[in-house]
Structure 1
Amino acid sequence: MAMDARYEEIGILKEIAEVLNESTESELMLSQVLKKLLHLTGLETGWVFLIDESGRHVLAAEEHLPPALSAENKRRMCQGDCWCVSRYYKKQLTKATNIIECKRIEEAIVEGSEDTGGLTHHATVPLRAGGERFGLLNVGSPKKKEFRSDELALLEGVAFQIGTALKRIHLTQREQETVLLAERNRLARDLHDSVNQLLFSLTLTARGGMEMSTGEVRETFGYIQDLAQEALGEMRGLIWQLKPRGLEKGLVSSLKEYAGMLGLTIHAEVTGIASFPARVEEALWRIGQEALANCKKHAQTSIVHLHFKISDESVVMSIRDDGCGFQHDENHELPSLGLKSMKMRTEALKGRFHLKSSHGQGTEITIELPI
């Protein structure tokens, strides 16, 4: 029997490894491996918390939660503290552990509002790879109050596999971001060294032709010069977007400098300490560039108001102009590719995008991103 159990354990670990090796996206991977784990072990319910350095947890995957935990859009799972998350944050949870009672289910029982499906206890296992920690794997079944040592050992092996896969995915994403940044820098250099210089030469040539000509020919050269100057300005803006000089000075300073290049004046106000993860800063920078470019092209005003409100949990950026505005109905699709791009960037980071505009009342874009 012992040998059969060992073979079964190896088989489970092998099937889990196959799922993990094929995965390139964290949340999809967690959902797939949790479903596979429950199927192979005969357990019924499971969920995964990803936990950041501040102790804030996010429900990244779940399977067969009882109504007590799934009610109100999983409110009890997404809010509040519990024993396992608290112990994890304090670094007191380092291996697979039997949880004597589940605080979230206890609260549901006390409230008497929803069915717990017979689930009262669960095992919890930290997800880690070497010295890095990523969160918790929790599993349980109705009426099951304790996990045997061999069950906990298996769960620990699976959790280590998941942690290693999460680390691999994170490293791959960082590598892709590094490659993308290098390619942007290369393209920015090429544009500056070739197209930008050609446009500058065309501007000088047109100016020289205008000074040596009269009548309609002079007007034609003047028109060519104006077009070249406009194209040169567009090219410099494109180079800025590809390689944001000055972003190391901070997001607000960079947006001010970019606005100045466009001929806009920014009135900026910052509430809170402007410090957030690189991915959030990059998204706000790109969204801010697009919004300022829209102001330049469409608002018919040179004054823009920029406001940041930063807390421990989120950053809110609003960009407002007092220009001509346009009629916008929130129930209809966004009217331009640029606005759609801003919304997509926001939602990719699980943020919220809001657009407010009407004729003669200006336009305001508000972005809220979790940090």
Structure 2
Amino acid sequence: MDAESRLQELGILKEIAELLNKGKDTDEILSDVLAKLLHVTGLKTGWIFLIGPDGFYTLSAKKELPEALSRSNFAPMCSGDCWCIERYTDGRLDKATNIIECKRLEDAILNNLGDTGSLTHHATVPLRAGDEKFGLLNVGSPHKTHFDKEELALLESVALQIGSSLKRIKLAQQEQELALTAERNRLARDLHDSVNQLLFSVSLTAKGGAAMAESAEIKETFSYIQELAQEALNEMRALIWQLKPRGLENGIVSALRGYAQMLGLELEMRVKGIVNLPGKIEEGIWRIGQEAMANCKKHSGQDKIVIELAAVKNNVVLEIRDPGCGFHFDEKNEMPSLGLKSMKDRTEGLDGQFWIESTAGAGTRLIAIIPI
């Protein structure tokens, strides 16, 4: 490589490094980096798959995909197997490869699924940082069936930069989650040691006052104060549970059962096909279940609730039902309560789908489907 080409390559790597260090939103960063890479190399098309340890992949960035691959909201790119992902998953793909014929394009041509834009091949490069792998960078151009050594070396350098950035983002998210957990634990401890104890003292004092009072009117006032203090104490204990869930270390089922028992609900729990869930998803399900049970206790008029948790393909399905009074719900309108909106937001924050089925007098059914 001559000096001019080397300087050009260093310039490309510098521009991409600047993009990678700009933000924390993974999809946005990958999209910007892919656009920059295609622009400076003169390549036409590219896409990035992020791949989890279980082999489940998502299309996180794409530029100028032909009609055959972009139809139906990029459906051909979001499911099914292909050679680059198979080789990545089984460990055969560990460096920039020249060149992989695209099975997705071959299938599109075979089934007449649309114009491929004369794209038939692509180079593929694993995204990695040290021994940790994150996914694949794929690039190509119409009629291009070969990448030379310099092109592959550049792609591999860019892929290493992307992998390092993904590692940085992952570590930052883990640090943020640990800090948030620590703050929740501190707040739960402070509430227990201060407000919780004060409410307990108020309840005992009111009970003593009611026992000592001679006037019926004063007795009734003290009894009312005791009831209010006890209700506030119950609310505080529920809040502490939400901040610092006892039992989650023993799994989501144990935590949900414990919370139902604390609320005085009769919980029927059904689990199918679930072994281990990622921590973030487990906590999301825990929070959704908490909110649903609290709503049931406050509004349904029933003390029975059914929670079903099942693994279906690459998703976990959470279904919560109660036989209570229900309510009128039109899915075209906004969520009728902050609690329901919170459950929907938590589900969508995990890239899932959430919906409600409820009719006045006929109970309520909540469903959350979250990819794993």
TM-score by structure 2 length?
0.98
> 1:107 maps to which residue?
107
> 1:162 maps to which residue?
162
| Further displaced range: 183-192 or 348-357 | 348-357
Q: Could you say what secondary structure the match of 1:328 adopts?
A: coil
> 1:48 maps to which residue?
48
C-alpha RMSD over aligned residues: 1.0
> 2:131 maps to which residue?
131
- Which residues in structure 2 correspond to 1:58-207 (within 5 Å)? 58-207=58-207
| 1:242 paired to 2:231 | no
> How far is 1:23 from its partner?
2.0
Which residue identity lines up with residue 64 of structure 2 in the other structure?
H
Q: Could you say what secondary structure the match of 2:101 adopts?
A: coil
Q: Could you say what secondary structure the match of 2:5 adopts?
A: helix
Distance 2:259 2:181 in 1: 19
Distance 1:167 1:360 in 2: 51
Distance 1:326 1:76 in 2: 40
The answer to whether the Cα contact below 8 Å between 2:49 and 2:135 also exists between their aligned partners in 1 is: yes
Distance 1:41 1:308 in 2: 48
Q: What 5-or-longer segments of structure 2 have no aligned partner?
A: none
CA offsets 1:298-337 (integer angstroms, 9 cap, x no match): 0000011111112451111111110100011112111011
> 1:318 maps to which residue?
319
Which residue identity lines up with residue 260 of structure 2 in the other structure?
A
Which residue identity lines up with residue 169 of structure 1 in the other structure?
I
CA offsets 1:140-171 (integer angstroms, 9 cap, x no match): 11111111100000000000000000000000
Q: Percent identity?
A: 61
| Further displaced range: 224-233 or 244-253 | 244-253
Distance 2:198 2:79 in 1: 58
> 2:279 maps to which residue?
278
| Further displaced range: 72-81 or 59-68 | 72-81
> 1:29 maps to which residue?
29
> 1:355 maps to which residue?
356
CA offsets 1:49-85 (integer angstroms, 9 cap, x no match): 0111222221111011010110111111111111111
CA offsets 1:231-258 (integer angstroms, 9 cap, x no match): 0000000000000001112211211110
Distance 2:131 2:155 in 1: 19
The answer to whether the Cα contact below 8 Å between 2:82 and 2:103 also exists between their aligned partners in 1 is: yes
Distance 1:289 1:72 in 2: 37
| Further displaced range: 92-101 or 187-196 | 92-101
Distance 2:57 2:269 in 1: 33
Q: Could you say what secondary structure the match of 1:171 adopts?
A: helix
CA offsets 1:159-213 (integer angstroms, 9 cap, x no match): 0000000000000000000000000000000000000000000001111111111
Q: Could you say what secondary structure the match of 2:85 adopts?
A: helix
